[in-house]
């Protein structure tokens, strides 16, 4: 039976004008249909009753996308805008446009929110150029980097910084450009990020007065996930290698890290191009970003910078020379960690000791090294003549790409990682617990740089084996392997193997137990017990690390 609708002007009008020969049933049906149409119309209007303030400049599709200069292209940017700034480290950063924003000055352009992987280097490049001028009030980044001026601004309350795992940041931006409002991720479950306890704001005395937002959680197939919301911007600024006059873009090597996804997530995208070519010069197979996502094009005039120029010795690695005791310990760890890298494996190596493991892979064993800034098939550090500012690793160091290697954007990279397509991930640690909990990014009371991609790298431990390679004790002699972590977690129950300069532990993540399986030469089980802060069981027949 059709329910009787509530009175309204529309109903009264319908009642007055009802044809006399229409049946009661037909009349009720007509009223019901029109009421639903009215309800639908009202609901649709309510969605737009409070329009989002538009900070993006007006786009005129009828005009050329070519602008004479970066200054002209940013002249109508508005204060209070959200700026998506592409690049990774100093690679692929739109410094021509950032310098133009800087020239606008704080009085003309201020109160900006800036989104990027990191904030650049003071007086060199990146967002640091406009955070120093005070034009940026809020940053959303994954890693603070080596920027002392920005650290001071943050710790004295002059800027708000939201730290976000690198893969989550990339996916939030990708979803923003794809019209997806939110998504669930395994990254950062059971960490301070889930609880909303990572500081975002300090007062002038260095006391935390603002924190993140607690995440909504949901269980899928017996596993907990965090809900993250999409991230969009008013303006995206990026640097491309080649751009045609229609806005089609071709990026070079690792410079595509955040470029394509940021262009898609902004209302207005401005590209600075190293080469501007006529329409037709770029073939369809060469285009990384279609012109539909690009609104303005300017010539790139800023020089490229190399953040960390790391070279290899063309004559050899130098192994076998006299080295310090500390270096010998690190070499022992790296040499043993290399045994985890089997032929044909796809592997991600963290900064420091984990990266060194690649040097000890036996000849004839082929492994594919993945770097989360968008490289697969990463090679050794370059010689002086091979240095290329567009080819860097996750530590912002210069590297090479081996035959068969590939490059891709950050969302694709972390899809590989979270999706379990990487076989092994090797990371460093501040602490590891008996249950495989990992803490490696933050010490309370000290300046923390951010989590970068670490939380994503340990986000799927059932598919990607997580190996920790670290010295057995900290600099102060305190144990790094503990019963329960006292430091903020990077991931819970994620580590399967622990390799130190003294021994190797296998972790039973379900039972929360450690098994001692190997010892270094000259190290006894009692030596390990003395320097380990967790209970463990030693196998009856222990292997040798060497």
What is the end-to-end Cα distance of the chain in Å, rounded?
82
Report the chain's C-alpha Rg in angstroms.
Answer: 28
Rounded distance between C-alpha atoms, residue 358 and residue 303, angstroms: 32
Rounded distance between C-alpha atoms, residue 167 and residue 453, angstroms: 6
CB 270 within 8 A of CB 73: yes
Rounded distance between C-alpha atoms, residue 338 and residue 484, angstroms: 28
CB 119 within 8 A of CB 147: yes
Active site residue 274: no
CB 382 within 8 A of CB 399: yes
Rounded distance between C-alpha atoms, residue 253 and residue 119, angstroms: 21
- The two tokens of residue 54 are 């538009």
- Cβ-based neighbours of 127, under 8 Å, separated by 6 or more: 85, 98, 114, 116, 119, 120, 136, 139
Angle between helices 9-16 and 24-47 (to 10 degrees): 150
Rounded distance between C-alpha atoms, residue 287 and residue 243, angstroms: 9
* CA 1 to the chain's CA centroid: 55
- The two tokens of residue 124 are 């060199």
CB atoms within 10 A of CB 438: 29
Rounded distance between C-alpha atoms, residue 12 and residue 104, angstroms: 59
Q: Measure Cα distances from 34 to 14, 37, 91 in Å.
A: 9, 5, 59
Sign (positive/negative) of CA torsion 531, 497, 502, 351? negative
Give the strand pairing for 160-163 and 112-115: unpaired
Helices (H) and strands (E) in the chain, counts: 14, 26
- The two tokens of residue 526 are 């009692």
- Cβ-based neighbours of 75, under 8 Å, separated by 6 or more: 104
Rounded distance between C-alpha atoms, residue 269 and residue 280, angstroms: 21
Q: Which of 122, 307, 372, 412 is catalytic?
A: 372
β-partners of residue 479 are 473
Rounded distance between C-alpha atoms, residue 533 and residue 481, angstroms: 6
CB 92 within 8 A of CB 289: no
Name the 3-class secondary structure at 511: coil
Residue whose C-alpha is closest to residue 198's, from 183, 217, 213: 213
Task: Tell me the catalytic residues.
Answer: 372
């Amino acid at each position: 039976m059709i329910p009787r609708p509530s009175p309204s002007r529309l109903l009264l009008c319908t009642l007055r004008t009802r044809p006399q020969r229409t049946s009661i049933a037909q009349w009720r049906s007509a009223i019901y249909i029109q009421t639903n149409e009215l309800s639908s119309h009202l609901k649709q209007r309510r969605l737009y009753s409070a329009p989002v303030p538009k900070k993006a400049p007006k786009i005129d599709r009828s005009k050329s996308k070519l602008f004479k200069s970066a200054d002209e292209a940013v002249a109508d940017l508005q204060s209070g805008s959200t700026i998506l700034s592409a690049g990774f480290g100093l690679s692929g950063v739109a410094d021509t446009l950032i310098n133009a924003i800087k020239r606008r000055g704080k009085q003309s352009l201020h109160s900006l929110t800036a989104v990027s992987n990191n904030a650049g280097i003071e007086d060199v490049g990146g967002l640091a150029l406009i955070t120093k001028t005070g034009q940026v009030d809020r940053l959303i980044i994954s890693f603070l980097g080596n920027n002392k001026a920005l650290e001071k601004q943050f710790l004295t309350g002059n800027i708000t910084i939201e730290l976000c795992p690198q893969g989550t940041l990339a996916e939030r931006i990708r979803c923003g450009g794809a019209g997806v409002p939110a998504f669930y991720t395994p990254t950062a479950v059971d960490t301070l990020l889930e609880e909303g306890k990572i500081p975002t704001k300090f007062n002038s005395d260095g006391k935390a007065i603002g924190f993140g937002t607690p995440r909504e959680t949901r269980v899928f197939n017996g596993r907990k996930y965090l809900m993250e919301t999409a991230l969009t911007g008013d303006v995206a600024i990026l640097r491309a290698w080649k751009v045609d006059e229609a806005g089609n873009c071709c990026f070079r090597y690792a410079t595509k890290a955040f470029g394509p996804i940021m262009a898609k997530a902004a209302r207005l995208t401005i590209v600075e191009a190293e080469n501007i070519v006529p329409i037709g010069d770029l073939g369809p197979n060469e285009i990384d970003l279609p012109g539909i996502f690009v609104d303005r094009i300017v010539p790139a005039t800023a020089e490229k910078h190399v953040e960390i120029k790391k070279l290899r010795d063309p004559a050899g690695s130098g192994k076998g020379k006299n080295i310090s005791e500390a270096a010998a310990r690190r070499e022992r760890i790296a040499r043993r960690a290399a045994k985890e890298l089997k032929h044909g494996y796809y592997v991600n190596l963290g900064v420091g000791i984990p990266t060194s493991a690649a040097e000890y892979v036996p000849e004839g064993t082929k492994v594919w090294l993945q770097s989360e800034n968008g490289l697969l098939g990463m090679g050794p550090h370059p010689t002086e003549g091979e240095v290329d500012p567009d080819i860097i690793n996750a530590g912002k160091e210069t590297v090479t790409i081996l035959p068969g290697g590939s490059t891709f954007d950050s969302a694709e990279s972390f899809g590989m990682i979270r999706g379990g397509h990487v076989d092994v991930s090797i990371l460093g640690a501040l602490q590891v617990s008996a249950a495989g909990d990992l803490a490696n990014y933050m010490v309370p009371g000290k300046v923390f740089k951010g989590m970068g991609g670490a939380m994503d790298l340990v986000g799927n431990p059932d598919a990607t084996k997580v190996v920790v390679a670290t010295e057995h004790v900290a600099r102060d002699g305190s144990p790094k392997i503990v019963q329960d972590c006292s430091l903020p977690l990077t991931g819970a129950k994620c580590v399967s193997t622990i390799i130190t300069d003294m021994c190797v532990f296998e972790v039973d993540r379900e039972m929360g137990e450690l098994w001692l399986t190997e010892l270094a030469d000259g190290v006894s089980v009692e030596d390990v017990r003395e320097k380990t802060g967790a209970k463990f069981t030693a196998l009856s027949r222990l292997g040798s690390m060497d």
